[in-house]
Amino acid sequence: MGQRAPRDINSFYSGLKGRQIILTAFLLSITIHVITIMAFQGIFPVSWFRGEHRAYRVYLIRPPMKEIMESSEKDQAATAQIPGEQPLRNKEATISLETRDPSYRPYTSVLKERILSHWTYPWSARSNLIQGDLLIVFRLDRGGNLIDCNIARPSGHEILDTFALEAIRSASPFPPFPETITVQFLNINASFAYQLRFEQ
């Protein structure tokens, strides 16, 4: 009779370990799939793994617009009826510094006088016989404060434009609007002419 060859015990154990790993992995995979399917079907109580949920109810309440509008109108009416003041009819007006409108002329005369007291003909421009005219638009609020100042039509010479702008800025702030001016803002067109006179 032939004798069986002795089996290597190490190869037996390594084969057994390999089968156990495959079997364990297979069982673990099946378990995970079953739990996932049950959770999606609502069978498995997934809520056990979640924290406690709280539900909050939010109410959106519309503000009482009618009361707000009435209150706002009353406040505006009270502000407009301060003794010695006229209600503001328009938000703004655009006029010329040379206007003949009796509502604006007394005020523009004061503005013109103040601007002229700060306006000078730059010496370097005179010595180089530089002349020109320009138009500046500046904006005032009711307090006479200068809000904006821009060149609408340049003279073609930067030095002349700069000195005219500086005259308006130096003259500000101007006096507050008189009662005859009922707008909140005034846009004023101011012309500046630099002309040299030659005597014969």
What is the spatial distance between Cα 183 and Cα 139, in angstroms, rounded to a whole number?
Answer: 12
Q: What is the pLDDT along the chain (200 residues), one digit of tens a residue?
A: 455 555 555 555 555 566 778 888 888 888 887 777 766 665 545 455 555 555 545 444 444 555 555 655 555 544 444 444 444 456 999 999 999 999 999 999 999 999 999 999 999 998 899 999 999 999 999 999 999 999 999 999 999 999 999 999 999 999 999 999 999 999 999 999 999 886 65
Strand ranges (E), the chain: 92-96, 132-141, 146-153, 185-194
CA pair distance 155, 150, nearest whole angstrom: 13
pTM of the model: 0.54
CATH code given to domain 89-194: 3.30.1150.10
Domain regions of the chain by residue span: 11-49, 89-194
